[in-house]
Amino acid sequence: MKDVLVPANPSAEPTKYDAEKYGSKVNWSRQCMFIDGKPTVIVSGEFQYWRVPDKSRWKRILLQMKSLGLNTVRFYFHWGYHSPSEDSFISDGSRDIEELFNLCEELQLFVIAAPGPYICAETQGGGFPTWLLAKRNIRIRHLKRHFMKKFDARLAEYQNNYYRNILAIIRNHERTTNPTGCVILLQIENELLHKVPGITFADDEEMRSLASCARESGSTVPFFHNDDMPHGSWATGKKNHYLRNCWLPSTTQYRTDMYGVDLYFVFAPRDDRADRSSLAIGPFQIAGCAAFLEFFCIGGLGIGGDDLGCIHCLYKSTSAVGERATPPPNGWNTKSLSGYIDTLEKRFDGIGGAAEGAPVVCAETQVGWINQWARKRDYDDLYNYFGDSFSATLHSSLAAQGLTVVNYYTAYGGTNYGASGDAEVYTSYDYSAYIREFGKVSERGRRLRLKALFQRSFVKYGIAESVVDSSLISCSLPNLLLKVRRAARGNGGDSTKPRFIFLRNFSSTGKLEKSRFTLAYNDVAFPCELAFKDSLILPANVQLTDGLTMHLSTIPVVTRGVVDGAELWVLSLSDHPFGRVLFKVTGDLTSVQVQWATIDGTSTGSSKVSSSDKTAGESQWKAPLEELSQADLEGGENGSLPVDVSASTEANIGKCVSLAFHAPCAMSLLDQNGAVLMRMLAISDQDSKTFTALLDSSSDSYAPSAKVDFACAWGAEEICISPSGEVSIEAGQDDRTVYYIGSSTNPPDSSFIPVAPVVQEVLPGAFRLSLSPSIDSVLPPAEGHYLPLQHWRRRKINWSTDVEWKKIDYATERDPLDHHFTSGYTTYRCTFEASGGAKVSLKLNIRHIAMVYCDGHAVEGQFCYSHNAFSAGAMHAVDITWAGKKRVNLTKYLDSAKTSHEVVIAVMSLGQGRSPFLLNDVRNRRGLISASLSGSARNKRWDVYGVPVSSLNDPFNTTGLPLEAEAVAENFDSDSPRWDSFPGESPMRLDLKAEDGIQWLRTSFRGPEKSYRFPLCLKFEARDSVVICAWVNDLFIGRYMYDLGPQNDFYVMEGVVKSDAENSLVLAVMTMKDTPLHVTLGPWIVDGTSGNLSPSGKPFVLQKVL
């Protein structure tokens, strides 16, 4: 295989991968990567550890990812998270990435490391630390302004220092130098657009500086970069030709070892929360009539400028904040996928360089989509929009294009706890991912698993290294036949090599109904069925033994492995099984016996066919595609048995044996001497949802376990099989039996018992475990199963006595970024003098939410936030800062008995921008944009208060409010006279008054039992403008904003909650109007398939069985 380990057309950069030295560990051919010399399909999922600050969940999430058929994980490493201050690099606690790598090596998950330094990821500053953003002489991302760059050597040095710190850890886990290391690829930078046709944007020195530093820091794995679209950025190493960017020096393009690209193509429809005249391009709202008027200082308040009464016809009413605007279920357009994905192989070949000499790294492709503040839809709506089968169909479509290195963004989204998100996203980062935020595996993830297990397990038969070859394949519905690929390597001619048939139903007729059709290979036609927006990958021409070749299966194959020396194929049967499996019989194989048993052992039997049978010399399956009989379509006539077998002779094939399955069962195929040729396990479609497998060493490049080489199991909500052979099981209320099959004759745990002997005879290594979950016993008896929240305590913030104000020069020092106040609130105070009866007004402009208090009285609130790229309060790009002003009359709030007065303006920022692509918006203004007192006010002095995040261990874990440390303290004194009781009509209802100002509320609850997985849902329901920052114990878990929404239900991370013990719930509350607030804490009541919240759903509580 030496020719495989010499990459074609390698990079000529000094930083190129040393294939001669390290190629035996990590390398590639044109079609796939080779790990330890073996072809490997990389099916990866994104996991952002910094969105899981309770690291006790890391292992479970990684295990869940492995159980979903993924063999790789990509990590973005967050510079700002690790370096809250300029002289720090924290790599312990929730930032212990050494432990993260150790877990991946323990679980045998490969890692794609993406240290940025820019990571985008909808996080504050795109991953850059606040202290660096505050250095205004530094050009972040080398941007001088939007779309214009100039290399900044000062930035490069800061970035290189960060690289040295992070790579000192990463390099120790690289597969090239560590025999058990997990890191196989290093991503340099992120979505650094180099060029589009005719225009070059990036400076090559950006990439060269980082890549050189990475090599100098000891990284030896291949480098790639993720192009934001298939433009060919950093792929060719050709001479730059500039048309417009004449300010950049002429250079040779930097070239990475492998070409990487992001593939995003389906975007949720906008919900018209604000200006419906706004132009939308892909996921971006650009601008409309509102922005035009804002440019002339007209309007800009509210959400998207919806204060503009003069163009009210362009707005939908936003008075009903809870009004839904849900996209249609399973509503994505099939042309979005087919138009973008189905030409990728040709496009990559056209790019050249790394894109044609190595497998393309799909660094990110979408699982769902992000959701923004102020939308009238939530992640449940987005889950419904993409549907259950989106990822499975996307995976089949990518595999049909020959992609063998694919990372799904994101397998687990996590939580924007505290202020870790940027201005676009709210607390939940659920993403409608494979693992929902609160930990449930979704149906989308379960369906992807079936495709991932198939593709990875058939590496042995050449699916990793394949070429397009559609010869001999035809379909009665031609538009369903996507592509056929043939193994590129192997002995014999092309006609003897395995084929993989990719089918996809994007038919415009039927809509969610199954299409039934026939598929023919070499003139043998078999029935097949496929639902709308679904896909199949079918194997063909797979030689199993010297005398037996699987000619075609139109029953979906889930995975394969080896049990007791023979192939085991797992099939998935629909409720009304449809399709067949045809084997070609050659050589000395004169008869075939089928021995079967239902998995519970209640039924068993056998059938035998031989070359002397009456029908064995006749053709059964040579027919025009559209003329198969109904009995053939339904799978045969002997439906009383789980499986039937028949023999035939087909013209272009010879002797054949076909199988039709009518019900789930295990089956052995025996030759005339009783030797096992292969085994099949047919499971129901319902059981396939819980099915998982640990693949054997022919499919995985990690060393096989000493305990078991192959194992699979099904029957419980969550089953994870670790490489050590250990099985972890968490069962739901309705789970009754877990079945396990392994290559070892020993059970994975003493709790398992062997299945019935008749089943063991057919399927050695099969065991079962009976379950009797007792979920109801741990659910609180109250309606909704809510936990008691009692003995509320309260302390109001006194802006005169509780705050250490910092005097500022209003003209030059009011930007929170200059003070490192980038998490939560920045509060301003203006003291002034005015005589009794004076008239005073305040003209105010803020970003994003504010409340004004005058002489201790609540005055008025203000919002300024927009989805438009050019508008007041723009979440991206250009914030029209001179728009969005509001005049507030303070006269009636002035204390007439005093001449000295104060105005307090508490401003909540939704986060710094992140400078996506070529936008220079990371320093867009936050906090107080402008404020002026008019009338009789004189002798004005300005002060500010906030929490400098560079002084904290965790830069996101603060509200920026006074009294925070006291309110969330573990040793809180509930009897302190500074805190009073705060009763409501019930323990779950709190009556809030604007006049109380911003206040801290605290209560406690008892954590669930440790032997159960019992994620908690914290729910807020208000009737008017309320802003809440919620803490559980020592973690700022999220922000609720009634006017912005859309989130009402918050995940309380299990690792934060102390089981069987008291926990604190602390709320920092600001209300603009008097309103009741209902607060509840209980289980997630969800739909069992999607994980969406549902009033008719069941509590998501699992019993830990093993």
Span 495-529, pLDDT tens digits: 899 999 999 999 866 555 788 889 999 988 888 99
pLDDT at 706 over 80: no
pLDDT interval class at 320 (50, 70, 90) = very low
* Of 43-57, 248-262, 753-767, minimum mean pLDDT range: 248-262
Q: What is the spatial distance between Cα 682 and Cα 553, in angstroms, rounded to a whole number?
A: 13
CA angle 114, 115, 120 (to 5 degrees): 80
Q: What is the spatial distance between Cα 559 and Cα 552, in angstroms, rounded to a whole number?
A: 15
- Tell me the pLDDT tens digit for each residue of 366-391: 999 999 999 989 999 999 999 999 99
What is the pLDDT at residue 7? 67
Residues in the chain: 1106
CA angle 543, 545, 551 (to 5 degrees): 35
pLDDT at 296 over 70: yes
State the pairing for strand pair 548-553/535-545: antiparallel
Tell me how far CA of residue 973 lies from CA of 793, 795, 1005, in angstroms: 10, 12, 16
Q: How many helices (H) and strands (E) does the chain have?
A: 18, 67
pLDDT at 938 over 60: yes
Q: What is the spatial distance between Cα 363 and Cα 114, in angstroms, rounded to a whole number?
A: 10
CA angle 615, 621, 625 (to 5 degrees): 160
What is the pLDDT at residue 5? 54
Longest CA–CA separation in the chain, Å: 114
Higher pLDDT, 289 or 1021: 1021
* Inter-residue contact 168 to 217 (CB < 8 Å): yes
- Tell me the pLDDT tens digit for each residue of 1017-1042: 999 999 889 999 999 999 999 999 99
* Inter-residue contact 721 to 694 (CB < 8 Å): yes
Number of Cβ atoms within 10 Å of the Cβ of 776: 11
DSSP-assigned letters across all residues of 411-479? EE--B--TT-B-TTB-SB--TT-SB-TTSPBPHHHHHHHHHHHHHHHGGGGTSSSEEE--TTEEESSGG
pLDDT interval class at 961 (50, 70, 90) = very high
What is the pLDDT at residue 630? 45
Average pLDDT over residues 897-911: 95
* Inter-residue contact 648 to 618 (CB < 8 Å): yes
Higher pLDDT, 637 or 690: 690
pLDDT at 133 over 60: yes
Residue 974: both structure tokens together: 């509930």
* Inter-residue contact 910 to 373 (CB < 8 Å): yes
Number of Cβ atoms within 10 Å of the Cβ of 1012: 18
Tell me how far CA of residue 203 lies from CA of 151, 161, 236, 254, 255, in angstroms: 7, 20, 15, 9, 13
pLDDT at 825 over 90: yes
* Inter-residue contact 54 to 1054 (CB < 8 Å): yes
Closest CA to 230 of 352, 411, 53: 352
pLDDT interval class at 107 (50, 70, 90) = very high
Q: What is the spatial distance between Cα 300 and Cα 885, in angstroms, rounded to a whole number?
A: 7
- Cα dihedral 238, 243, 246, 251, rounded to 10, equals 0
- Tell me the pLDDT tens digit for each residue of 424-444: 999 999 999 999 999 999 999
* Inter-residue contact 1039 to 426 (CB < 8 Å): yes
User: What are the phi and psi torsion angles at 701 (to 5°)?
Assistant: -90, -10
- Cis peptide leading into 1080, omega within 30 of 0? no
State the pairing for strand pair 566-573/676-684: parallel
Alpha helices in 923-997 (DSSP H): 964-967
Q: What is the spatial distance between Cα 444 and Cα 435, in angstroms, rounded to a whole number?
A: 9
pLDDT at 142 over 90: yes
Q: What is the spatial distance between Cα 506 and Cα 335, in angstroms, rounded to a whole number?
A: 8
Q: What is the spatial distance between Cα 956 and Cα 84, in angstroms, rounded to a whole number?
A: 9
pLDDT at 406 over 90: yes
- Tell me the pLDDT tens digit for each residue of 467-505: 999 999 999 888 999 999 999 988 788 889 999 999 999
Angle at which helices 204-216 and 153-170 cross, to 10°:
40
What is the pLDDT at residue 508? 67
**Contact residues for 584 (Cβ-Cβ < 8 A; gap 6+):** 548, 549, 550, 551, 653, 654, 655, 656
* Inter-residue contact 26 to 35 (CB < 8 Å): yes
Instruction: State the DSSP H helix or E strand holding residue 103, giving kind and residue range, or none if neither.
Output: helix 97-107
- Tell me the pLDDT tens digit for each residue of 64-75: 999 999 999 999
Q: What is the spatial distance between Cα 1006 and Cα 1062, in angstroms, rounded to a whole number?
A: 4
What is the pLDDT at residue 243? 47
pLDDT at 1013 over 80: yes
What is the pLDDT at residue 321? 47
DSSP-derived letter for residue 866 is B
Average pLDDT over residues 26-53: 96
Residue 371: both structure tokens together: 């959701």
Of the chain, the end-to-end C-alpha distance in Å amounts to 43
Residue 176: both structure tokens together: 């090239």
Considering the chain, what is the average pLDDT of its residues? 91
User: What are the phi and psi torsion angles at 831 (to 5°)?
Assistant: -100, 140
**Contact residues for 58 (Cβ-Cβ < 8 A; gap 6+):** 49, 52, 99, 100, 103
pLDDT at 1 over 50: no
Closest CA to 913 of 86, 121, 159, 169: 121
**Which residue shows structure tokens 């009741």?**
1076
pLDDT interval class at 912 (50, 70, 90) = very high
For residue 59, how many C-alpha atoms fall within 13 Å in the half-sphere facing its CB?
Answer: 11
pLDDT interval class at 137 (50, 70, 90) = very high
* Inter-residue contact 461 to 478 (CB < 8 Å): no
Number of Cβ atoms within 10 Å of the Cβ of 10: 17
Number of Cβ atoms within 10 Å of the Cβ of 423: 25
For residue 541, how many C-alpha atoms fall within 13 Å in the half-sphere facing its CB?
Answer: 27
* Inter-residue contact 406 to 364 (CB < 8 Å): no
Instruction: State the DSSP H helix or E strand holding residue 489, giving kind and residue range, or none if neither.
Output: none
- Tell me the pLDDT tens digit for each residue of 653-682: 999 999 999 999 999 999 999 999 999 999
pLDDT at 163 over 50: yes
Q: What is the spatial distance between Cα 295 and Cα 1042, in angstroms, rounded to a whole number?
A: 28
What is the pLDDT at residue 636? 47
What is the pLDDT at residue 270? 78
Average pLDDT over residues 24-47: 96
Closest CA to 526 of 585, 579, 471: 579
- Cis peptide leading into 1046, omega within 30 of 0? yes
Please state the pTM of the whole predicted model.
Answer: 0.96
Residue 964: both structure tokens together: 């925070």
DSSP-assigned letters across all residues of 130-168? HHHHT-TTS-GGGEEETTEE---HHHHHHHHHHHHHHHH
pLDDT interval class at 639 (50, 70, 90) = low
Residue 348: both structure tokens together: 């990559």
pLDDT at 594 over 50: yes
Instruction: Could you list the beta-strand ranges (E) of 855-998.
Output: 857-865, 870-871, 878-879, 886-889, 900-908, 927-935, 938-945, 980-981, 989-992
Q: What is the spatial distance between Cα 945 and Cα 961, in angstroms, rounded to a whole number?
A: 8
Counting residues of the chain whose pLDDT is more than 90, the rounded percentage is: 75
Instruction: State the DSSP H helix or E strand holding residue 839, giving kind and residue range, or none if neither.
Output: none
pLDDT at 1052 over 50: yes
What residue type is 125 in one-letter code? G
What is the pLDDT at residue 635? 45
Residue 240: both structure tokens together: 């730059």
- Cα dihedral 397, 401, 407, 409, rounded to 10, equals -40
**Contact residues for 464 (Cβ-Cβ < 8 A; gap 6+):** 31, 32, 39, 40, 41, 404
pLDDT interval class at 579 (50, 70, 90) = confident
